């Protein structure tokens, strides 16, 4: 792996549950891991749902190997959130994290 290409900082967050000020259970997000990544846009699509056009941007993040990352987590990159859809291990050298940008 060429570490010099991991030039974008991302934050991987995991869902957690907590209570709000009213005592109701709500889902919040907490930082699981911060990493440098190579970011590649791999496609996208547009769909028409309920008379509204929604766009999906597919992005692939390559990071150094870190155990415990799963599809329930999300990635924060820049000011956008990405839902992890697939994880591919690169012989314990690194990970490909496939993700869709939330709109």
Residue 4 lies in a domain: no
Q: Which of 99, 14, 87, 86 is nearest to 57 (CA)?
A: 99
Mean pLDDT of 29-49: 85
Domain range for residue 33?
A: 13-101
What distance in Å separates the CA atoms of residue 11 and residue 76, rounded to the nearest whole number? 5
Number of domains forming the structure of the chain? 1
pLDDT of residue 3: 77
- 64-92 pLDDT, tens digit each: 999 999 999 999 999 999 999 999 999 87
Mean pLDDT of 32-51: 82
Assessment of whether the complete model's pTM goes beyond 0.75? yes
Residue 8 lies in a domain: no
DSSP string, 60-80: EEEEE--TT--TT-EEEETTE
């Amino acid at each position: 792996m060429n570490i010099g290409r991991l030039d974008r900082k991302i934050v991987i967050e995991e869902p957690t549950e907590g209570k709000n000020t009213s005592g109701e259970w709500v889902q919040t997000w907490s930082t699981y891991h911060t990493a440098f990544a190579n970011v590649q846009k791999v496609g996208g699509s547009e769909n028409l749902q309920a008379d509204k056009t929604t766009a999906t941007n597919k992005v692939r993040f390559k990071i150094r190997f870190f155990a415990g990352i799963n599809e329930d987590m999300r990635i924060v990159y820049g000011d956008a959130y990405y839902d992890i859809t697939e994880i591919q291990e690169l012989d314990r050298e690194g990970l490909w994290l496939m993700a869709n940008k939330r709109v």
